[in-house]
Structure 1
């Protein structure tokens, strides 16, 4: 009963920060002896790569506009990571090809939705003139991923409920901020057009 909620939560978290999911699961499986964690995530090379990429993302994710570029690059990476982690979880728990397919679809699909929400929220945050909101949002995402992944490994159903609420709230937030994003880009294009007009010499 706990497998699908765990896969759903890991998919949600992978869409936010896939490297943190791999790192946290791997560390808890290796040093806390959690039987639900696939051995592939506990390997030393996997943990080292995940830790390095997590540190890079921790910096890039807090810089305005760099975070959106980083999100663009990870449009494929995060859903694939969510699908792979889900398949590993299912394969570790069962031997059915159907369960692997369903798990990969659930994990990857959920990761794609949460990644889209994250990218949309970041575009809205980047319309703010100050950089501190990016740092606050990024730290909140990191803490949320760490807390929910840890909770999911011990109590998968409550973690899945929280992840579902956060996913729904994120979708509604993105829909709410779309108009703000459009206004921001429209003002930016207008200012660019004005600057171009001022630089263009007037012929008399």
Structure 2
């Protein structure tokens, strides 16, 4: 059960930012005892791999905060984020971590299963993120992009470390993430409907001010 939560948390984090979970797993495996990567996934802790992932992370973080550029970045990431989700679900679910000291043999002997699950989870998260971001950019003329991007990066970091250290907290993060998307969607729809009402002239007329009292 904990392996599934670890993989799901990492894959969801990848759907928000492809490179944060991969870099975190590589760094933690190389420099700490919190993660021990299984055979076949040790390449994540290779120094050159981590350098490349770090450079890609910086580029993604910057591009994701610029209106219009973030939309192009989301199109590119439609391939990258699901692939990253498959990698971190496969690696995370079969790794020894601070919370999981004996990964289930199912995840190590059927390595394609967690990878496939991770691809689906990350793709679903990415599509929800990209759709919400596109709507927010239209409603706010791009002004919301930086704030939303910072929130998504923070959620990705939080999910990553929760998945590795306290997998049960992944459930809380997923509930909060779903709530945030729901609130944002409702707010965008309310703003859009108000703009349409103003454009069509269907807003109720403003009542006239009461007459001023006559001077005595």
Cα drift, residue 130 of structure 1: 5.3
Instruction: State the structure with more CA Rg.
Output: 2
Query: What SS is found at the alignment partner of 1:156?
Result: coil
Distance 1:121 1:44, change over 3 A: same
* Larger CA deviation: 160-169 vs 91-100: 91-100
Superposed, which structure 2 residues align to 1:1-204 within 5 Å? 1-37=1-37, 38-92=41-95, 93=103, 96=106, 99-127=110-138, 128-129=140-141, 131=143, 133-158=144-169, 160-169=170-179, 172=182, 176=186
Contact 1:25 1:41 (8 Å CA) reproduced: yes
How many residue pairs are counted as aligned between the two chains?
182
CA RMSD of aligned residues (A): 2.6
Consecutive unaligned residues in structure 2, runs of 5 or more: 96-102, 197-216
Does the Cα contact within 8 Å between 2:28 and 2:35 map onto a contact in 1?
no
Please, which runs of 5 or more residues in structure 1 have no aligned partner? Answer: 187-204
How many Å apart are 1:46 and its aligned residue? 1.4
Name the residue aligned to 2:204. none
TM-score by length of 2: 0.73
Counterpart-to-counterpart distance in 2, 1:76 and 1:178: 27
Give me the whole-angstrom Cα distance separating, in 2, the residues matched to 1:12 and 1:130. Answer: 24
Deviations 1:70-109 (A, max 9, x none): 0011111111111122222344445546642331222111
- 8 A Cα contact 2:137 2:145, kept in partner: yes
Could you tell me whether the CA contact under 8 Å between 1:117 and 1:170 is conserved in 2?
Answer: no
Q: Would the aligned equivalents of 2:132 and 2:181 in 1 still touch at CA under 8 Å?
A: no
Partners of 2:105 and 2:185 in 1: CA distance: 40
